[in-house]
Structure 1
Amino acid sequence: MLKVINHTACLVLLLLACSVAEAADMGGTIEALADGKRINFPLLKTEMLAKVKGDLVTVTVKQTFTNPTDKPLHATYLFPLNQDAAVHKMVMEVGDERVEAKIQRIEEAKATFEHAKQQGKAAALLTEHRPNMFTQDIANLMPKLPVQVTLTYSQTLPKVDGHYELVLPLVVGPRYQTAGAGIPPTPTAKVDSKTTYGQWEVEDLPAYPVVAGAGLNSPEIIDKDRVAIRVELDGGLPISELSSKTHVIAEENISENQRVVQLAKGKTIDNKDFVLRYRLSGNNTQAGLLAHQDERGGFFSVQLEPPAVPAVKDIAAREMVFVLDTSGSMDGEPIAASKQFMTHALHNLHPNDYFRIIHFSNNAEEFTAQPVAATPENIKQGLFYVDALTADGGTEIPTAIEQAFGKPAQQGTLRMVVFLTDGYIGNEAEVLTQIAEKISDARIYALGVGTSVNRFLLEEIAIKGRGFARFIDPTEKADDVAIKLASKLESPVLTDITVDWGDLQVSDISPSKIPDLFAGGAVRIQGKYQQSGQHTIKVSGLVNGRKAELPITVNLPANADINSSKHDDPIPVIWARSQIADAMRQINTPSYMRPEGIAENDLKDKVTKLGLDFSLTTQWTAFVAVSQKIVNQHPEQAEHSNVPLPMVKGVTEEAYGESQQLAATQPMMTAQHFSGGATPEPSTIAGLMVMAAIGAWTVYRRKKHGMGYVGR
């Protein structure tokens, strides 16, 4: 692995007592010294409130930014949201002002923000870089004047192995930027942040911020209590098996249908994702309907569950291809969990199976030149091979995809590819396009290994691969996941799903191609309708080659509901988000494989219009809020700084050398227009120096009555 050591930067990270009352509750001042220049870091507290009704959730995320110094700051915070989140509202509060943000085209929003910054006004800009990666920029964050930004998003909750699952991502892991195909030649002159080289459009990833704890013994050095979480759950049916394997929770039983869940200790450090799972007892229906109508039209969402049929006794021969990420970010707990998974996965193979083992970091290597039969001796040798693997280097997923699909499948077998990775890359679009081109008749099952993985990439890989995604927390028993995977691969799959809408006139259905339906899961179909009242639709599919049908009677809201003009119902924005996701998947598909050969610019225009019409963040729309009052009389004196992040739990410090440096300094190559942040301002360069010398930090904590040595 590339070790990033910058001997020209002398860095000292200091944790100092706050100089103002407002900052006293925020955990102290954090600053660094780079070549004698002091870099001040803004402080952050986050409160999350999730209100769940059945399988719908609306989440408010309240971010409070505080400047503990005596000089104005411009702040940038890199943070995650759920990849399915429809972010439809943002409010900024500063002093006695409350400003509701406006949705604008990304270029207009950035211009609005920059103008406010130069005027000395407080401003907030929310930019979506990926469906699960955002930045919040704060202009003119003044001493003794906190800025509070509240985001609101809605989503449906997926059903995973029979449980509904609420995932609140809390930290963005390091991103490795591939050095693979598509890197343009080095330009001799300065270029804009979007410069076309051949088929690739180059855009910058947001600069990865300082990570407290990388190179240190104590990852909690910034603040152990940055996040508070509260979940108000109304299942509509009796709730059972409520649990979280990621955090210790306190549960309040309101009724058999209602629970309130909070963190047992009130607050936590934001170094791993929060996951809550539950069942709804007595919910034996195989289809459910949600619908809403207002002046924008009628919107519906139908959830389908698979039919209960016996497992297949005679399993067809399979070529099982296990692809293991052995890059530096997988070092420690993740690679150990992957090895534990492989032990049980190989032992669960059938005698008529063949298997391959591929591992990748800077390049891809394979256990054997050809697939081998799943004999006891071959399995034993495969386990020896896996046990000897170490995690080091970059995350060149394209090389692994080429290795996995570059040769024909073993004759007479169905190829099934199991990916084990944290997904810490910046070239998601390239990977998804490559899979669409290479997959043929194979299936891909994506297993995210880690406490805060790139769920967006893994879910999209599974969708492209006609499989499913699962996630392995390294603190869990990976053998349980292996056993469940083996069982699910042997369970019947409902394929070739179609819907006969009967006399119901519908439009704008998503997804455009309905995915296969696995046992314990669910598929959601969303669209717009014209006629209210009762209608019968029929869902058809194949299970083990046999035709299966499910008639559904739906009752759709009448036109009278339009008079209420309520826009607080989440169904329309969730529909709009599903349309956006569907359009982005088409963008990430080679043009010759798109339905009706739709042009990329048309898809981009569709996404932008949906964002503007439904007030949603997208790759090309952003929220911006500007105060009426001027808060900084000397805006030219403000310095820019990033909110520091904690190191992801379970990820070793080695991952925060190569990954940060590459993500922060190399442009992102995509033909798919995934948006990146603007090029870092000159004042940010000192912050990047902190990243470059991250392994050489020395940490001190200064309290009100002296300074104590913490570690190094």
Structure 2
Amino acid sequence: MTLTSAQSRTTWHRRLWISVAAALFTILLCVSTIPAQAAGLLKPLGGGDAASLSISSHRVDVVINNGYARTEVDQTFANSADRDLEALYTFPLPKQASLSELSLWVNGQEWLGEVVEKERAKKIYQEQQAQGNDTALAEKDDFKSFDVRIGRVPAGGEARVRLVYYQPLEIDLNVGRYLYPLAEGNVDEERIAFWSEDDRVDGPFSFHLTLKSAFPVKDVRLAGYQNEALIQQTSGMGADGSAGDIYEVTLNKEAGGDLSRDLAFYYRLDDSAPARVELIPYRDDPQQDGTFMLVVTPAADLQRISEGSDWIFVLDVSGSMGGHKIATLADGVARVLGKMSPNDRFRIVTFNDRALELTPGYVQATPDQVQQWIAAVKSLQANGGTNLFAGLERAYHGLDDDRTSGVILVTDGVANIGHTEHREFLKLLKTYDLRLFTFVIGNGANQPLLDRLARDSGGFAMNLSDSDDITGRLIQAKAKVLHQALHDVDLKFKGEKVRDLTQATIGNLYLGQQLVMFGRYSGSGEVGIELQAKISGQERTWSTTALLPEIDRDNPEIERLWALSKIEGAMEQIRETGETEPLRRQIVELGTEYSLVTDYTSMLVVQDVVLENEGIAKRNADRVQRERAAQQQRENAPVKNYQVDRSSGSGGMFKGLPSPGIGSGPVGPLFIGVLAWLNRRKRNLK
């Protein structure tokens, strides 16, 4: 299936298949039972006894509002040893998260961290720690984790640390998802060997989440805790007179809280929530540039696809997939094979240190063949490293030009053997016109690579947590692959006010997916917005206008999210073509200006006199002051609706609901599945 000049990627939708729904169901169902080891653990450095340190309290406060989430983690660490200890606390890197605050409490006073170039920050931290001074340091370990060092946990005493991160959230098929990651992905052997296993909090554990929505919320769910979480709902009017909902979700454990499991929160908007364009601005001074987050929830006539197909399974059988993971994955693939039509064909490729073709090429899905290969799949054993490139390369060889084909990659790991450079994977993808759907199990996987591969091939990537409501995730994945998509999507602003957009190439948008984009603007006033896409090769255009305000101080956090998106774009270039001084300098400048922990910058906590002596400006202190003031204002204010296309006529720019033809109303085919997903014992306090 090598591309020729006569071929066109605009016909990609014909290569999706109806049987993918059964595959997604069984694979997702099986990975839901995978157990996780603990992350978010504390370890003493410098030879201290691991038993001497413990997490005596762990409090999480989350606010979801205006398309992004703010997560605050406040922890107290206790030291039972008779000497001071240096400690390292690590937790999985949340997707698209900007670690923006690190605070250390000393004698009841909060010391707020400032962002410094990574090597310099580490040097200052080590000097302060060696002198026995209170200090802390937050670093980013590539795509794996945030690591927080506490320079001194006093003998027989405690150290209190607080951190804050922001992340944009997307709504998929009217369902929003927030994940607080805690489960260890077991993909980093060095980390696994390093950590002692302690997945408990000695004292209280609390999780509190506030959801504010400008559109009515039909239901919420804290997966796995529906009988323990306390849910309070408040409905009212928004600031502009529109309906708005507020939910408070609380989970408390007095002692012995478990840090080995992710917390997955879902919220489902009412079916009446329209397709829409939302623009959330921030501008402190009319003499300075403004920043905005644009969220597009499209609606289009995306028809159901009913073709048969060739299936290529690419299965990770490396060592990190051992035990229950490989058993449940094998069972899932076996169930898929059992549901295939005799007209379908399949191949199975496995990979660890090298790739193997488990089947002898394509196998017709007859009952006898299916039973034979079910037995083969169930006998798979996990061991070795992760040669992801070899697995994909083997899958792409031997494609049949006359058959609709697709690849599903299921992995929990990282590419650590063979070709590991992003550019090698991207060269491989460009040779074939084939959709790749990646399913990433757990935390710690090479998310930047797997997301890029799916996006560049025109597929999609989906993250799966051990705490996810697998039925709900199934509904979202199934709807996407069973329908056409918007492809060759392009979004343009009419006028010269807008610049520095953070997503140059959008690619495809599947049914129910949102487009989230950040940008900067100068001047003020009206600006045009135009979305172009193709459906079945036919071009479609939607347009509206938005007002860019001269001043709007409600959401200062938008600046950090814009900067983080710019940094992710620069890191994508580095991973593909290698590090250059201009790219490294760009990341350092953005990280220090907007106080973000990156691969090249860290957050350092020291006393003010050290900052002064080192010539480190208190930029983050000023930024945090603005953000906290805005957060306090929003806490007491009505919900604000940022939809900008309501003036485009009835139904807005898209004039319809986000997912026409499949909805979740009484006649929608997803209605039964959604009801099953949301069927739970509610404890709503009015």
TM-score (norm 1): 0.70
Residue aligning to 2:231: 252
Q: 1:310 to 1:417 in 2, by over 3 A?
A: same
Match of 1:283 in 2: 273
Query: What secondary structure sits across from 2:576 in the alignment?
Result: coil
Change (3 A) 1:427 1:362: closer
* DSSP-derived class of the 1:122 partner: coil
- The residue aligned with 1:154 is 166
> Equivalent residue for 2:356?
365
Aligned pairs for 1:243-392 within 5 A: 243-248=221-226, 249-256=228-235, 257-263=245-251, 265=253, 268-281=257-270, 282-295=272-285, 297-313=289-305, 315=307, 318-346=309-337, 353-392=344-383
Do 1:340 and 1:479's aligned partners in 2 also have CA atoms closer than 8 Å?
Answer: no
Tell me if structure 1 keeps the 8 A contact 2:280–2:292. yes
Counterpart of 1:231 (choices 185, 193, 209) is: 209
Alpha-carbon shift at residue 398 of structure 1 (Å): 3.1
Report what 1:123 is aligned to.
135
Of structures 1 and 2, the one scoring higher in RCO (CA 8 A, sep 6+) is 1
Report whether the alignment pairs 1:163 with 2:162.
Answer: no
**2:120, 2:443 → 1: CA distance?**
36
Report the CA distance shift for 1:265/1:464 in structure 2 as closer, same or farther (over 3 A): farther
SS of alignment partner, residue 399 of structure 1: helix
Question: Contact 2:456 / 2:507 at 8 angstroms: preserved in 1?
Answer: no
Q: Which residue number corresponds to residue 511 of structure 1?
A: 503
SS class of match (2:347): strand
1:588-643 Cα shifts (integer Å, max 9, x gaps): 2247xxxxxxx73322222111101111111001100114699xxxxxxxxxxxxx
What amino acid is aligned across from residue 510 of structure 1 in structure 2?
T
Aligned to 2:69: 57
Aligned to 1:582: 569
Instruction: Give 3-state SS (helix, strand or coil) of 1:589's partner.
Output: helix
How far did 1:86 drift?
Answer: 1.5
Would the aligned equivalents of 2:60 and 2:206 in 1 still touch at CA under 8 Å? yes
Equivalent residue letter for 1:569: P
Measured at CA, do residues 168 and 224 of structure 1 come closer, stay the same or move farther in structure 2, by a change above 3 Å?
same
2:48 aligned with 1:43: no
- Per-residue deviation at 1:247? 3.9
Instruction: Please give the per-residue CA displacement for 1:332-387, whole angstroms capped at 9, x wherever unaligned.
Output: 43224323432454456566654321122232222224233444444444323222
Change (3 A) 1:607 1:474: closer
Q: How does 1:613-652 map to 2 (within 5 A)?
A: 613-627=593-607
Which residue number in structure 1 is paired with residue 559 of structure 2?
Answer: 572
Between the aligned partners of 2:457 and 2:354, the Cα distance in structure 1 is 22
SS at match of 2:480: helix
Residues of 2 paired with 1:431 and 1:88: CA distance?
A: 29
Q: Is the 8 A contact 2:184 2:442 kept in 1?
A: no
Q: Aligned pair in 2 of structure 1 residues 242, 456: CA closer, same or farther (>3 Å)?
A: farther
Q: CA deviation at 1:110?
A: 0.5
Does structure 2 retain, via aligned residues, the 8 Å contact 1:81–1:170?
no
Contact kept in structure 2, 1:227 and 1:270, CA below 8 Å: no
Letter in 2 for 1:469: A
- In structure 1, the residue corresponding to 2:420 is in which secondary structure? helix
Q: 1:48 and 1:511, CA in 2 relative to 1: closer, same or farther beyond 3 A?
A: same
**What does residue 78 of structure 2 align with?**
66
1:398 & 1:409 partners in 2: Cα distance?
17
CA contact (8 A) 2:264 2:468 kept: no
Between the aligned partners of 1:71 and 1:392, the Cα distance in structure 2 is 42
Aligned equivalent of 1:600: 580
Contact 1:509 1:528 in 2 (8 A): yes
8 A Cα contact 2:570 2:587, kept in partner? yes
Bigger strand fraction: 1
SS at match of 1:301: strand
For residue 420 of structure 1, what is the aligned residue in structure 2?
410
Distance 1:482 1:240, change over 3 A: closer
Which of 496, 511, 517 lines up with 2:488 in the alignment? 496
Give the paired residue count. 552
Is the 2:234–2:247 Cα contact (8 Å) retained in structure 1? yes
What letter matches 1:555 in structure 2?
Answer: L
Code of the residue aligned with 1:587 in structure 2: it is: I
Equivalent position to 2:196, from 201, 211, 220: 211
Counterpart AA for 2:352: S
Shift of 1:40: 5.1
2:532 is paired with a residue whose SS is strand
Letter in 2 for 1:573: R
